[in-house]
């Protein structure tokens, strides 16, 4: 490995970690949806990793296509910017719909309603504390947590559109040196750093907030999760 490529590899890891830390949209939606949907830690991590893979693979494919066809870096960055705007607006739309759903059901007194489209084609399930004892309430939480939903796949679809802006320039240098294995190495290191950082932050926040039980959050959990996703979408759209 040449000295230049070694420096580039370190840069790929460092930039992957930093750009993830500085982008709450990389982890906040998963923490919010995990809490609102009562996902297990395992499910949360699987969803996070899959969305992380979708997030980086889109930019990797765009970069490789650009390298193979000789498209200029400025044009690739323009295209990545378009993808970023699409992802931002998708997050905003999804977040607003989720938030409105959560508000409506919270107002109706359905503390643990879940606005998920289930794989068995049933509509959203609702549970009201007024008609359940503490024991049955706990059982309902376990039941809801176990039911499959399409929410993770919505997040995955959105994250496919989310670009990794720093990756494209990183791939161009080894490509200019005609080092394809260097391109692959840089892409792999950046991807692992990004997905690994996403996973560690999500796991830490989920475990760290597990013991926090607030009455208003229990009732408006879905609305709060929708708000978090909406704010993340606004941040992406505004380039924050």
Distances (CA, A) of 116 to 40, 119, 131, 138, 204: 16, 9, 21, 19, 25
Using pLDDT thresholds of 50, 70 and 90, give the confidence band for residue 157. confident
Q: Please state the pTM of the whole predicted model.
A: 0.75
pLDDT (average), residues 153-163: 84
Look at 1-10, 15-24, 109-118, 182-191 and tell me which has the smallest mean pLDDT. 109-118
Which position has the token pair 């080092």? 179
Contacts of 232 (CB under 8 A, 6+ apart): 24, 25, 28, 29, 91, 95
Considering the chain, what is the average pLDDT of its residues?
78
Cβ(12)–Cβ(188) below 8 Å? no
Question: Average of pLDDT values for 142-162?
Answer: 70
The string of pLDDT tens digits covering residues 197-225 is: 999 999 999 998 887 776 666 777 788 88
Mean pLDDT of 190-196: 94
pLDDT band for position 17 (50/70/90)? very high
Find out whether 124 and 98 touch, Cβ atoms under 8 Å.
Answer: no
Q: What is the pLDDT of residue 51?
A: 93
pLDDT digits (tens, 9 = 90+) for 102-128: 888 788 865 444 445 444 444 445 444
């Amino acid at each position: 490995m040449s000295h230049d490529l070694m420096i580039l590899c370190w840069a790929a890891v460092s930039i992957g970690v930093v750009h993830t830390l500085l982008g709450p949209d990389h982890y906040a939606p998963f923490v919010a949806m995990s809490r609102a949907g009562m996902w297990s830690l395992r499910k949360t991590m699987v969803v996070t990793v899959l969305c992380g893979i979708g997030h980086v693979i889109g930019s990797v494919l765009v970069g490789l296509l650009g390298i193979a066809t000789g498209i200029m870096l400025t044009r690739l960055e323009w295209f990545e910017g378009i993808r970023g705007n699409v992802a931002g607006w998708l997050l905003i739309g999804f977040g607003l719909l989720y938030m409105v759903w959560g508000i409506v059901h919270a107002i109706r007194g359905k503390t643990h309603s879940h606005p998920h489209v289930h794989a068995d084609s049933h509509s959203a399930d609702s549970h009201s504390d007024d008609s359940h004892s503490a024991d049955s309430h706990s059982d309902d939480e376990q039941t809801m947590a176990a039911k499959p939903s399409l929410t993770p796949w919505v997040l995955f679809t959105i994250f496919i559109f989310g670009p990794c802006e720093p990756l494209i320039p990183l791939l161009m240098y080894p490509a200019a040196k005609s080092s394809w294995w260097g391109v692959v190495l840089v892409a792999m290191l950046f991807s692992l750093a990004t997905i690994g950082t996403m996973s560690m932050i999500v796991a830490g926040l989920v475990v760290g907030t597990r013991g926090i039980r607030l009455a208003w959050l229990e009732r408006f959990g879905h609305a709060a999760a929708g708000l978090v996703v909406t704010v993340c979408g606004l941040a992406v759209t505004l380039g924050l």
